[in-house]
Chain A
């Protein structure tokens, strides 16, 4: 298996633009997670899905952020409109079960909002 795949790997955009981050989880994994990493706050869980259903989105910073999982092999995290403070590395992870040790992280998308 190729592991968790994220695209794009790098994104540079201007404030106010819509940004869409994509994730393909490992086949057979029922859980999918979106994290954000910043220097100040480290890794933060934004939202996670179980069997394509959002379970906990309490980490989503505000209404500008939305995440979808239309099927078991694809998820998106959208920011509209983007702001400079959204600049961070966004990780997607997937897991076959509800335990932290089994989360496999993707390589991340580095987002820079100018």
Chain B
């Protein structure tokens, strides 16, 4: 049972434009959400997180939005850069602890 879903397996955007990666979850008890970035032949690395008490968290070019009523979160990258090309995983958990549920990932390609 996939509790966290990333319905777009891939996304392609032009350099300088906005990238929007989406994630849906089914368990309304989830209250902590994260995005990880993964380059080929490397493990995932933490990118940004958000608690359910917020609806937005920003870190430089990366912003995560949370819509609790829709059980939906999104990651915005503005402006997109070729170095952002990677697979992005969203994850959700009950509290800020280690038991995360991950989505299947979205492969982002930023074209120069």
Contacts and interface: CB of A to CB of B under 8 A. Distances in A.
B105 A42 contact: yes
B69 interface: no
How extensive is the interface on chain A, given as a class?
A: 20 to 34
A71 interface: no
A106 B98 CA distance: 16
Interface stretch (A11-19, A77-85, A95-103): A95-103
A99 B93 CA distance: 11
A114 to B, nearest CB: 22
Given A42-B89, A43-B102, A100-B34, A105 B44 contact: yes
Interface string B6-39: 1000000000000000000000000010100000
Interface in B33-70: 34, 41-46, 49
A103 B102 contact: no
Given A100-B97, A107-B42, 18 more contacts: A41-B104, A42-B103, A43-B105, A45-B101, A48-B98, A91-B43, A91-B44, A98-B98, A99-B96, A100-B46, A100-B49, A100-B100, A102-B46, A105-B43, A105-B45, A106-B43, A107-B43, A108-B43
Interface of B: 2, 4, 6, 32, 34, 41-46, 49, 89, 91, 93, 96-105
Interface of A: 4, 31, 33, 39-45, 48, 56, 91, 93, 95, 98-108
